[in-house]
């Protein structure tokens, strides 16, 4: 489900422009923090809320004018490779370093989106990042949230970033 016309009007940005800015921000974060410079944007072909198998998800809550969640979802193997790249050391199992890295990625994504909304005068506060992982899980956001979802490919895997929110 796309974003609401009232949000587009409030921030004076179209859904397409917000999505393009989100893609740019994610690519910049991954280039700087993970060393992945050539992320390929893919069409969304999975449910951006519930289709996670053997994945790890980092999430940051947003509260204020709009309430919601900024999240990143990636396969555990990719998360371990990304963490290895960030830390410059081999990571071979899910551990606190992977949780911290995925949480920090979610935090940076949420922060960049908050900045876009704050420039329009919206009051948005961010929570501390949370991380979940498992063989199969479902994330329920309630109240049929509006969302921006983007999916990216690396050389051999994919991950997804979702901004979901409800108007107060």
pLDDT tens for the chain, 168 residues long, are: 466 666 666 666 677 888 888 888 888 888 888 877 766 666 555 554 555 678 899 999 988 877 888 999 999 999 999 999 999 999 999 999 999 999 999 999 999 988 877 777 678 899 999 999 888 877 777 666 777 888 888 777 888 898 887 765
Domain 5-167 -> CATH class: alpha beta
Domain boundaries, given as residue ranges, for the chain: 5-167
Q: pTM of the prediction? A: 0.84
C-alpha span between 38 and 103 (Å, rounded): 22
Residues 144/56, Cβ–Cβ less than 8 Å: no
* DSSP codes, 77-143: HHHHHHHHHHHTS---S--HHHHHHHHHHHHHHHHHHHHHHHTTT--EEE---EEEEEEEE-----S
What's the pLDDT at 66? 75
- Report the distance separating Cα 113 and Cα 111, nearest Å: 5
């Amino acid at each position: 489900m796309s974003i609401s016309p009232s949000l587009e009007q409030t921030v004076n940005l179209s859904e397409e422009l917000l999505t393009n800015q989100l893609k740019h921000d994610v690519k910049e974060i991954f280039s700087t923090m993970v060393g992945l410079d050539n992320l390929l944007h893919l069409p969304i072909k999975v449910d951006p809320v519930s289709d996670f198998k053997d994945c790890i998800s980092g999430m940051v809550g947003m509260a204020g004018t709009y309430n919601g969640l900024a999240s990143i979802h990636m396969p555990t193997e990719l998360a371990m490779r990304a963490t290895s790249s960030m830390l410059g050391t081999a990571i071979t199992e899910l551990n606190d370093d992977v949780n911290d890295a995925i949480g920090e990625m979610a935090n940076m994504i949420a922060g960049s989106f908050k900045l876009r909304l704050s420039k329009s005068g919206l009051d948005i506060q961010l929570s501390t990042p949370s991380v979940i992982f498992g063989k199969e899980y479902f994330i329920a956001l309630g109240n049929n949230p509006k969302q921006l979802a983007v999916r990216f490919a690396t050389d051999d895997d994919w991950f997804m970033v979702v901004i979901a929110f409800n108007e107060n």
